[in-house]
């Protein structure tokens, strides 16, 4: 199935509480209901089986690059990132690629 | 759909050639034919639209954690990582999570 995927791996800053992490996940999970360009959206915490992993992941799928850019620039997405992720962020790695 | 997802973001070392990157992608793409535990497998290079992104991504999906661990420890997977990825690796971020 063709499409466009956006992947983000996050390491939380030291001291970020479990409830702050859960709040971020909950807010992100609301975005598919607010941004119709999201075709599928999956967030989760590391399963804890391999050493040195990131803490949290976001995988979003879109019909194409333009749909991803609408999501990326959408006020609802920017608000969640600004309020629930960026303040608690130690490290972030991301990519977008054609499926 | 339940399952278990493995995500890796890679930054290639400076000087890694395009053909070395393509060879890594091609070898990885052979793994689903060699490791039946792989339910779906997607690799790709960054689309180049956002600043500061990783270069390359691997997203593998498995029925469960045990199937992922079979893949992780499989000789065919270890051979590809050892020969076509690790020698060219600048940075790696990874996670595994329940879908």
Q: Does residue B44 surpass a pLDDT of 80? A: yes
Other CB atoms within 10 Å distance of the CB of residue A94: 19
Q: Is the ipTM of this complex over 0.85?
A: yes
The domains of chain A, with CATH numbers, are 4-98 (3.30.70.100)
Closest residue of chain A to B56, computed from CA coordinates: A95
Distance of CA B43 to the CA centre of its chain: 6
pLDDT of residue A75: 98
Q: Do B5 and A42 touch (CB under 8 A)?
A: yes
pLDDT of residue A12: 98
Digit-coded pLDDT (tens) for A16-62: 999 999 999 999 999 999 999 999 999 999 999 999 999 999 999 99
| CA–CA gap between residue B50 and residue B54 (Å, rounded) | 10
Distance of CA B95 to the CA centre of its chain: 11
pLDDT of residue B30: 98
Q: Do B9 and A7 touch (CB under 8 A)?
A: yes
pLDDT of residue B75: 98
Q: Do B95 and A7 touch (CB under 8 A)?
A: no
CB A3 within 8 A of CB A64: yes
With an 8 Å Cβ cutoff, the interface of chain B facing chain A consists of: 4-5, 7, 9, 42, 44-47, 49-50, 52-57, 59, 65, 69, 72, 91, 93-99
Q: For residue B76, give both structure tokens.
A: 């065919």
């Amino acid at each position: 199935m063709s499409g466009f995927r956006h992947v983000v791996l996050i390491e939380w800053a030291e001291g970020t509480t479990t409830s702050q992490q859960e709040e971020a996940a909950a807010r992100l999970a609301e975005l598919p209901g607010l941004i119709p360009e999201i075709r599928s959206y999956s967030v989760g915490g590391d399963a804890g089986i391999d050493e040195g992993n990131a803490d949290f992941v976001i995988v979003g799928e879109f019909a194409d690059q333009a749909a991803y850019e609408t999501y990326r620039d959408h006020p609802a997405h920017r608000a969640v990132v600004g309020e629930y992720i960026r303040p608690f962020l130690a490290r972030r790695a991301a990519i977008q690629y054609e499926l």
